[in-house]
Structure 1
Amino acid sequence: MRRRSLRSRLTLLVTLAVAVAVAVSAVGCYLIVKHELYVQMDRTFDEQRMKPPEAKRYDVEWLLKHCQPTAQSTGHYGRPPQSTMVVYADGRPNCYVGPGLTVTPTVRRIAAQGGSDIYNGTTEQGRPVRVFVESPVPGMAIMDSRPLGELLGTLRTLTFLLASVAAIGVLGAACAGLLVSRTALRPVGRLTEAVEHIARTEDLNTTIPVNGTDEIARLSRSFNAMTGALAGSRERQQQLVADAGHELRTPLTSLRTNIDLLLRSEHTGRAIDPKAKQRLLVNLKAQFEELTTLVGDLLQLARGQSDHEPHVEHAFHDVVGAAAARAGLRGADVTTDLDPWYVVGHPSSLERAVMNLLDNAAKFSPGGKVEVELHGGELTVRDHGPGIPAEELPHVFERFWRSPSARGLPGSGLGLAIVAQAVQEAGGQVRLDNAPGGGVIARVDLPGSPVLTHP
């Protein structure tokens, strides 16, 4: 069953469901009709069954007067000719009016003990009959019968008709199931073709037309959203690679130039002035540090959210305090005013984001003066620098973007992009605004609580 295609399985299930329903209906119809036919036949015995004892004794006297010791072709028992037979409990020969009936142990028991019964029996020639047996007087039983040939013929005809209808119904169900499966699975077929096309060509711009609001339409919309997200991710990845290559080209070129200068000096035997050589080596070290920082920032941006440590609830005010202490060791003049605030996120990522904000603020603020406050879940980092032109504010969180006025300063242009990524992973928001009186205020809003909710 599992090796079949979805279309064949759906067709088979529909056919089986209809076949079972038709079979149950046919069997139920057959049993009801059979019961009603036997009920109608048994009503023909009601007249004999409901007679008073005096009338039954009169019928017995009449029957004994007219019955014969041998079976006959016709008989009479107060009604049109029917097969009637008298059976004695003491073993005397049976007495017949009409064809002979097969005597069963039940009949002999009724003849000896009294009572009555209705059952299907046969004549001595093997013809099916409906038999009513009763003991009107002690010591004997009277068997009265009706032929079952017509009733059984009706049931055979009914069986043939129901079987024919069931077969036609099952065949029609198979055709309907095939049609339904083809119609229902046509959108799935289009989706499969689109997936195969993407797997074959890697064309993530492929979309599936969406019609309606059913499950297939929802699946198509989800597929289109997935391919759109993949296309955007690939585009961002390609852009990151292109930007990284562009940014790495400058320090690598400078490193190669300085190293070539040192090698040429060694090969030609022309010594470089010691002070110039010292400046060259210092420059090499600075370029290596810049390159190391750039590679670290790229790795931080490139790794996905699954590469980070698990989300945990932690004290964000402690994270900010630790970052401020580290910034102070680097020469920044940081003042803090922190209220308790607990958030769920990555402590190391958020600490690096705060460090980037502090380094960025200290770089542009005279004397490295930075003011840090944390109140009600909002972290503000303010510097006292020249500020940012309004037209440049929308671009500050873009990767590798640097203000024209800051391109001469050290940095890779990735610090604020790392901040935005870390804050978004924690479910918060970040923005930069020009502060009244000069400088820039960075605002970070993180969802959390002033108390620890999961101690």
Structure 2
Amino acid sequence: MIGRLRALPLRSRLALLVATAVAVAVAVVSTVCWVVVRGKLYDEVDAKLRSTRQSIDLRAVDVAATLRACPPSATSQDEFGRPKDYYFQLVRASGDEPCVFAAVSAGTVRVTDGDREVAGRADPRLETFRDGTDTDGRSVRVLTVAAAADGAVFRDTALMIGVPLRETERTLNDLALLLLLVSGIGVLGAGATGLWVARTGLAPVDRLTGAVEHVARTEDLSVRIPAEGDDEIARLSRSFNAMTAALASSRDLQQQLIADAGHELRTPLTSLRTNIELLARSEETGRAIPPDDRRALLASVKAQMTELAALIGDLQELSRPDGSAHGRTVQVVGLHEILQGALERARLRGPELTFTADIGPWYVRGEQAALERALVNVLDNAVKFSPPGGHVEVELRDGTLSVRDHGPGIGAEELPHVFERFWRSPSARSLPGSGLGLSIVARTVQQAGGEVSLARAEGGGTRAVIRLPGAPTPPPATP
């Protein structure tokens, strides 16, 4: 059953669930209503029987004669042919047949052991109400009390008063039929309303489904769904729009990365191909290249291969997904120690430069290799743009690393682009590099929870500032 329900469309399931819930609610309300009305009607019948009992004067009835004669039955109609309204009879505890008041009784009610028990107890305060039938099988509501007159109780004798239930049962049957009819109409209306509500409420979901199917079929990430209001559907639509926008941006960045990487790779590959073809043609033709030219060609090949290796390494670094911990070892490392190593490498690359360093201890949580690569890139930029015999200032205090060179500096219009992939300022396009160094720096610092910025320094040059959260002392080792 559950499997079949799950196989239905969501709209049909909602309509069915609504109809079922309404049907259960209507059934419960109808049942309670019928039971309450039945109780009220029976209370009225019982009150009528009790009132009739109080109006009966057994002194006017020759009880002894009635018991001696003990007529077992009476006609159900009066002398005018109208149905009599009540049953009157006496019953004895000995188990004999009941004795009816032949003149006034509508018939004879079947006697039960409970009636004889009331007769045997002879307690005028005891009264019992029950449903029963007369000898013709008609339903009767019966009151049984001890027979008494003027406070005197007739021994082993009880008075039974009954009233036909045909009108009460007819009313209850009519009420049951009416409730059943209203319930049926209510369930059908609830089903139709549920279907309409499901269609209306799921219309945004249908639009969302259509958009998702369209994207899956055409890979068109420009699709947007109108989002109105603050309900769950609107939130889902906005989330879908944000997701497709992010996917579109990611795809554009990927295509841009591929195009930029292809463009950057083309230059060293073209140079390599030209130099290798010259060397190969020299071997094929037997015409030797002058030694100085040959050495220049081999040096160019080596430089181009080094540039290719650096570019491929940068592309591999950028290809790792942001925030992914796969293949990474995040731990507490001494940023000052990493900076010392990066500074030694920078001195080797710029032996003609003067480096001044003011480095204080600072421990951060991150990936040591990535942080080392980022610091090396920052110092390489300072070396690259420093004039011969220039000065590079390095300072690390309280988690803030500052690297300043005294080169030409960066124009104000170029600052917003310095961390973009493959972007290179016009003055730096003749220098070696792929344009990925600062992009790698920004990514690494952000992953470590810090921030990086570049700005023109007072007096000329460029200042790179990196701020990383940490502490001047390492945390205590856990046992």
User: Residue 112 of structure 2 aligns with which residue?
Assistant: 104
**Does the CA-based 8 Å contact 1:312-1:345 persist in structure 2?**
yes
User: Residue 160 of structure 2 aligns with which residue?
Assistant: 143
Shift of 1:310: 6.5
User: Residue 73 of structure 1 aligns with which residue?
Assistant: 75
Structure 2 residue identity aligned to 1:361: A
**Does the CA-based 8 Å contact 1:327-1:334 persist in structure 2?**
no
**Does the CA-based 8 Å contact 2:342-2:372 persist in structure 1?**
yes
Q: Which moved more, 1:171-180 or 1:275-284?
A: 275-284
Distance (whole Å) between structure 2 residues aligned to residue 107 and residue 454 of structure 1: 93
Distance (whole Å) between structure 2 residues aligned to residue 329 and residue 82 of structure 1: 124
Distance (whole Å) between structure 1 residues aligned to residue 114 and residue 96 of structure 2: 17
Give the fraction of aligned pairs with identical amino acids, expressed as a percent.
Answer: 52
Distance (whole Å) between structure 2 residues aligned to residue 81 and residue 196 of structure 1: 76
**Does the CA-based 8 Å contact 1:85-1:95 persist in structure 2?**
yes
Q: Which of 281, 288, 294 does residue 277 from structure 1 map onto?
A: 294
Structure 2 residue 143 is the aligned partner of structure 1 residue 121: no
Structure 1 residue identity aligned to 2:18: V
Structure 2 residue 457 is the aligned partner of structure 1 residue 440: no
Q: Which of 388, 407, 411 does residue 389 from structure 1 map onto?
A: 411
Shift of 1:4: 1.1
Distance (whole Å) between structure 1 residues aligned to residue 34 and residue 476 of structure 2: 69
Q: Aligned-pair RMSD on alpha carbons?
A: 2.6
Per-residue displacement from partner, 1:365-422 (whole Å, max 9, x unpaired)?
2447432222343221112223223333333222222233322322112111211222
Q: Which moved more, 1:104-113 or 1:140-149?
A: 104-113
Q: What's the secondary structure of 2:408's corresponding residue?
A: coil
Alignment of 1:359-370 (within 5 A): 359-365=380-386, 366-367=388-389, 369-370=391-392
Q: What's the secondary structure of 1:390's corresponding residue?
A: coil
Shift of 1:232: 0.9
Structure 1 residue identity aligned to 2:142: V
Distance (whole Å) between structure 2 residues aligned to residue 262 and residue 316 of structure 1: 47
Alignment of 1:336-415 (within 5 A): 336-365=357-386, 366-367=388-389, 369-415=391-437
Q: Which runs of 5+ in 2 are unaligned?
A: 79-83, 148-153
Structure 2 residue 185 is the aligned partner of structure 1 residue 185: no
**Does the CA-based 8 Å contact 2:94-2:116 persist in structure 1?**
no
Structure 2 residue 26 is the aligned partner of structure 1 residue 26: no
Change (3 A) 1:22 1:81: closer
Distance (whole Å) between structure 1 residues aligned to residue 239 and residue 315 of structure 2: 31
Shift of 1:364: 2.2
**Does the CA-based 8 Å contact 2:49-2:163 persist in structure 1?**
no
Per-residue displacement from partner, 1:78-129 (whole Å, max 9, x unpaired)?
xx86212222122444311231111112222222234431100000111100
Provide the aligned length of Structure 1 versus Structure 2: 448
Moved over 6 A (4+): none
Per-residue displacement from partner, 1:245-271 (whole Å, max 9, x unpaired)?
111111001111111112112222223
Q: Which runs of 5+ in 1 are unaligned?
A: none
Shift of 1:229: 0.9
- TM-score, scaled to structure 2: 0.86
Change (3 A) 1:153 1:403: same
Distance (whole Å) between structure 1 residues aligned to residue 362 and residue 27 of structure 2: 70
Structure 1 residue identity aligned to 2:117: R
Distance (whole Å) between structure 1 residues aligned to residue 332 and residue 26 of structure 2: 62
Q: Which of 257, 268, 273 does residue 256 from structure 1 map onto?
A: 273
Distance (whole Å) between structure 1 residues aligned to residue 476 and residue 39 of structure 2: 72
Shift of 1:426: 3.1
Distance (whole Å) between structure 1 residues aligned to residue 54 and residue 470 of structure 2: 91
Distance (whole Å) between structure 2 residues aligned to residue 379 and residue 427 of structure 1: 14
Structure 2 residue identity aligned to 1:120: D
Shift of 1:313: 5.3
Change (3 A) 1:164 1:91: closer
**Does the CA-based 8 Å contact 2:19-2:194 persist in structure 1?**
yes
Per-residue displacement from partner, 1:413-434 (whole Å, max 9, x unpaired)?
2111211222233343322112
Change (3 A) 1:433 1:93: closer
**Does the CA-based 8 Å contact 2:363-2:472 persist in structure 1?**
yes
Distance (whole Å) between structure 2 residues aligned to residue 117 and residue 219 of structure 1: 67
Structure 2 residue 174 is the aligned partner of structure 1 residue 157: yes
Structure 1 residue identity aligned to 2:48: T
**Does the CA-based 8 Å contact 1:86-1:94 persist in structure 2?**
yes
Change (3 A) 1:17 1:449: farther
Per-residue displacement from partner, 1:113-146 (whole Å, max 9, x unpaired)?
3443110000011110001112233312221101
User: Residue 58 of structure 1 aligns with which residue?
Assistant: 59
Q: Which moved more, 1:137-146 or 1:234-243?
A: 137-146
Distance (whole Å) between structure 1 residues aligned to residue 38 and residue 476 of structure 2: 73
Distance (whole Å) between structure 1 residues aligned to residue 238 and residue 460 of structure 2: 48
Q: What's the secondary structure of 1:138's corresponding residue?
A: strand
Distance (whole Å) between structure 2 residues aligned to residue 81 and residue 266 of structure 1: 135
Shift of 1:450: 5.0
